[in-house]
């Protein structure tokens, strides 16, 4: 994996253009999502780059919905996309829709016909494919290629008027069927689709293709730097050809590598399958690589922006370790999330020498990593506690510094205990641990002189609140699920969600609202889920505490 430093190649290009006064030194970028799904983490790379470049050079960014395919697009997606961009922290100068340009695009197409640069083709999709040739073999001219301008104008108008069925005719650019670039071999400009559109309704039954509509839309908006992913490099000559032949504003296309993440699929088409086939609970399932999924999981916009910044922009395809993204959210939450104690696999602990019925409220620092320490909270302490089952060992091994017969341990924010006995049920499971506490060993006021190596977390049983924890793991088993053998869905991790329904938390969590983020001491970072009810608060594990990236990232 590579971490680029300094200005990226696009910043260099834009800086140079601004310096040379190209387009009057103006910078206008655009983010052009197709509203056919929710935004994913890959889109955030493009968003951060487009908005970031504009901000850096005093320019602006348009949000343009690339809604030229009525079959897959929907208003629900439009709303979610806007919401996600705002959440990431960006504001667009204008909200545009490629569909708003349908009339202009139609006019431009007529102009190309008049210039003898476009024609109506009656060939079927199969015939067109067969005539296309191969990268090493030139294609064949369509028998309809030499239709007269008048005939083409008439047929194209009738295509628009709805006289023909889907697939009966297309409009193609007349470029070069022998070009070594397959995209230059008379690319399709329009196809017939008798399908209502989410914005234009039934007004149109011909829809422009990406290659034709995209560059023209950029040009209509006077976009100065049109950034897309590398697979469009081979489309650039077509982009330039249309602009040149129409003699319109010379927007320019620049390509960068797309973001690929390990253990993650990123195409909307695949994410839609996961949703439709109910492998996940929805687009915002916390295991999804969508921005709505990350948000629900507890990621912050800052962490995603930091990540996008750090992975840099290159012109070489690569695969980024998902651990790097986890590193950034962990860093962020370490500073911002309050600590609370939550016991996930509870076992009862009774302090024999603690007065029955007594409750002490012990102060707990909310966040030792925050500048102001996050203030303090009160933690109730009493005779009966819950602790983690694995913080007790019946026959402790040598290096075990937690509880076991005769062993001493410190309870975080509280006292030192010594284990005196324990009870087991018939099956041999430990059911109850008995300890004595040392009253002079209170945290912050310890005069006991006793030293212990281990510190464990705990929750007072009478005040504890019961909560549900959703523990997430990677959604896919192989590192590169899209290129693994067979269907990508064959590689879904069957254990990507484990639900713990009997966790006990400090009463502090009663105040939590959906979206609030915490560090559960010794457990990881958690975010309250909107599924929570008063009786059943639900927390999503955002990320564990362990950080395999610390060393690498520490080199920065």
State in angstroms the smallest separation of the CB of 256 from Mg ion. 15
Q: Which residue has the closest beta carbon to Mg ion?
A: 34
Q: Which of 82, 193, 258, 522 is catalytic?
A: 258
3-state secondary structure 180-203: CCHHHCCCEEEEECCCCECCCECC
State in angstroms the smallest separation of the CB of 210 from ligand ATP. 8
Residue with tokens 């309809």: 144
DSSP secondary structure code for residue 288 in this structure = S
Closest CB to Mg ion among 238 and 435? 238
Closest CB to ligand ATP among 140 and 258? 258
DSSP H or E run through 472: strand 465-472
Closest CB to ligand ATP among 259 and 512? 259
Known catalytic membership, residue 268 = yes
Contacts of residue 52, defined as CB under 8 A and 6 or more positions apart, other chains included, come to 309
Residue 192, contacted partner among ligand ATP, Mg ion, none, CB below 5-8 A by kind: none
Residue 402, contacted partner among ligand ATP, Mg ion, none, CB below 5-8 A by kind: none
Distance of CA 224 to the CA centre of its chain: 27
Closest CB to ligand ATP among 263 and 504? 263
Known catalytic membership, residue 199 = no
Residue ranges binding Mg ion (CB under 5 A): 34
Is residue 452 within 8 Å of 404, Cβ to Cβ?
A: no
Tokens of 62: 């348009």
Residue ranges binding ligand ATP (CB under 6 A): 32-34, 42-43, 45-46, 66, 228-229, 258-259, 266-268
Residue 43, contacted partner among Mg ion, ligand ATP, none, CB below 5-8 A by kind: ligand ATP
Residue with tokens 């060992």: 393
Alpha carbons 333 and 304: distance in angstroms, whole number = 12
Tell me how many degrees the CA angle 481-485-488 measures, rounded to the nearest 5.
40
State in angstroms the smallest separation of the CB of 227 from Mg ion. 14
State in angstroms the smallest separation of the CB of 234 from ligand ATP. 14
Q: Which of 30, 45, 191, 268 is catalytic?
A: 268
Closest CB to ligand ATP among 266 and 420? 266
State in angstroms the smallest separation of the CB of 460 from Mg ion. 54
Closest CB to ligand ATP among 419 and 475? 475
Q: Which of 11, 22, 26, 34 is catalytic?
A: 34
SS3 127: helix
Residue 139, contacted partner among Mg ion, ligand ATP, none, CB below 5-8 A by kind: none
State in angstroms the smallest separation of the CB of 50 from ligand ATP. 8
Alpha carbons 229 and 226: distance in angstroms, whole number = 10
3-state secondary structure 40-104: EHHHHHHHHHHHHHHHHCCCEEEEEECCCCCCCCCHHHHHHHHHHHHHHCCCCCEEEEHHHHHHH
Q: Which residue has the closest beta carbon to ligand ATP?
A: 42
Catalytic residues: 34, 258, 268
């Amino acid at each position: 994996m590579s971490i680029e430093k300094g200005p990226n190649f696009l910043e260099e290009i834009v800086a140079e253009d601004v310096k040379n006064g190209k387009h009057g030194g103006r910078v206008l970028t655009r983010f052009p999502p197709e509203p056919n799904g929710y935004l994913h983490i890959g889109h955030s790379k493009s968003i951060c780059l487009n908005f970031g470049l504009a901000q850096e050079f005093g320019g602006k960014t348009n949000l343009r919905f690339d809604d030229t395919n009525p079959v897959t697009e929907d208003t629900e997606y439009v709303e979610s996309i806007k919401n996600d961009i705002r959440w990431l922290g960006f504001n667009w100068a204008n909200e545009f829709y490629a569909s708003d340009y349908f009339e202009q695009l139609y006019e431009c197409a007529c102009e190309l016909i008049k210039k003898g640069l476009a024609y109506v083709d009656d060939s079927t999709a199969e015939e067109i494919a067969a005539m296309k040739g191969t990268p090493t073999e030139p294609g064949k001219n369509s028998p309809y290629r030499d239709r007269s301008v008048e005939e083409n104008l008439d047929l194209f108008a009738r295509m628009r008027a709805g006289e023909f069925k889907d697939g009966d005719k297309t409009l193609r650019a007349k470029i070069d069927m022998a070009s070594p670039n397959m995209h230059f071999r008379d690319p399709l400009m329009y196809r017939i689709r008798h399908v209502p559109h989410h914005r234009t309704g039934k007004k149109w039954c011909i829809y422009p293709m990406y290659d034709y509509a995209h560059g023209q839309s950029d040009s209509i908006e006077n976009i100065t730097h049109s950034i897309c992913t590398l697979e469009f490099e081979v489309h650039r000559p077509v982009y330039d050809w249309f602009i040149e032949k129409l003699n319109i504003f010379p927007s320019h296309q620049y390509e960068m590598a797309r973001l690929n993440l390990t253990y993650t699929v990123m195409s909307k088409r695949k994410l839609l399958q996961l949703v439709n086939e109910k492998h996940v609970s929805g687009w915002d399932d916390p295991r999804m690589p969508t921005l709505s999924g990350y948000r629900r999981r507890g990621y912050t916009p800052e962490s995603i922006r930091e990540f996008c910044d750090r992975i840099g922009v290159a012109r070489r395809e690569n695969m980024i370790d998902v651990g790097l993204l986890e590193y950034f959210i962990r860093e962020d939450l370490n500073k911002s999330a309050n600590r609370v104690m939550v016991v996930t696999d509870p076992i009862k602990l009774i302090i024999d020498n603690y007065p029955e019925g007594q409750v002490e409220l012990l102060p707990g620092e909310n966040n030792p990593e925050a500048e102001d320490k996050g203030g303090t909270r009160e933690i109730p302490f009493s005779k009966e506690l819950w602790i983690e089952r694995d913080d007790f060992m019946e026959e402790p091994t040598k290096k075990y510094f937690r509880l076991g017969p005769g062993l001493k341990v410190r309870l975080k924010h509280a006292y030192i205990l010594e284990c005196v006995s324990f009870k087991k049920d018939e099956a041999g499971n430990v059911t109850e641990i008995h300890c004595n506490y040392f009253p002079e060993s209170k945290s912050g006021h310890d005069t006991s002189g006793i030293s212990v190596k281990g510190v464990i977390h705990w929750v007072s049983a009478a005040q504890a609140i019961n909560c549900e924890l959703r523990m997430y793991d990677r959604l896919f088993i192989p590192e590169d699920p899209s290129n693994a053998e067979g269907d990508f869905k064959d590689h879904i991790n069957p254990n990507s969600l484990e639900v713990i329904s009997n966790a006990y938390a400090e009463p502090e969590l009663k105040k939590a609202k959906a979206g609030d983020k915490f560090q559960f001491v010794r457990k990881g970072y958690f975010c309250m889920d909107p599924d929570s009810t008063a009786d059943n608060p639900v927390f999503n594990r955002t990320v564990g505490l362990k950080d395999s990236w610390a060393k690498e990232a520490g080199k920065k």
